[in-house]
Amino acid sequence: MRRLNLEFQPRRQGPLTWLPLAAGAVVLLAAVAVQQHLDSQQSALNTHLQGVEQQLGIRPRSQPALTSAQSREQAESLAQMRSLSQQLQRPWERLFSMLEGLPQDDVALLTLTPDARKGQVRISAEARDLEAMLAFHKRLEASGELRDVSLLNHEIQVKQAEHPVQFNLSASWEIGDARL
């Protein structure tokens, strides 16, 4: 008996049989090569863009991780900057205007030491006598800028002819109703 041949399409045995497979492989290799080329261009463009952004100040330069000592130092520096910023934001003109507006015939201001962080100011002055010192103290208490005015110390200069009084006052420096 003869063998049955049930193939409806007979096999082709020529070189054209492998042509679609070879064409697909060539297209696949070309696509991979183009993708690698595009990836390298994208990477180069991103690097160039980061450099330009850093030059323009849009993107900060990447910094390595900080050690604990460096982070402490950075925190201290930030605290100092905040303190300075807080001092700069105080209404200095109002304080100076108030102090200059007080009658000071018998009192001379020597130093003014503000502490914006604590909201206090220390005033060193010299008065002609004790009564002038007490009157100056009362005028500061009555002002709208200072609260809790207190005499820290005083010293009568007995070696000078008129016996002037050098004294230090401390006061809370307030802005309106809110204390800074």
Please give the chain's pLDDT, 180 residues, in tens. Answer: 678 777 777 666 677 777 888 899 999 999 999 999 999 999 999 999 988 888 888 766 666 677 888 888 888 888 888 877 766 666 777 788 888 888 778 898 899 888 767 778 899 999 999 999 999 999 888 887 888 999 999 998 888 888 899 999 999 876 654 444
In three-state form (DSSP H/G/I as H, E/B as E, the rest C), the secondary structure along the chain is CCCCCCCCCCCCCCHHHCHHHHHHHHHHHHHHHHHHHHHHHHHHHHHHHHHHHHHHCCCCCCCCCCCHHHHHHHHHHHHHHHHHHHHHCCCHHHHHHHHHHCCCCCEEEEEEEEECCCCEEEEEEEECCHHHHHHHHHHHHHCCCEEEEEEEEEEECCCCCCCCEEEEEEEEEEECCEEC
For residue 43, what pLDDT is reported?
94
CA distance 17 to 13: 7
* Residue 176, Cβ density class (10 Å: 0-12 exposed, 13-18 middle, ≥19 buried): exposed
**Model pLDDT for residues 11-24, shown as the tens digit of each residue:** 666 777 778 888 99
Q: Residue 28 burial (CB < 10 Å; 0-12/13-18/19+)?
A: exposed
Q: Give the pLDDT confidence score for residue 70 in this predicted structure.
A: 82
pTM of the full predicted structure? 0.50
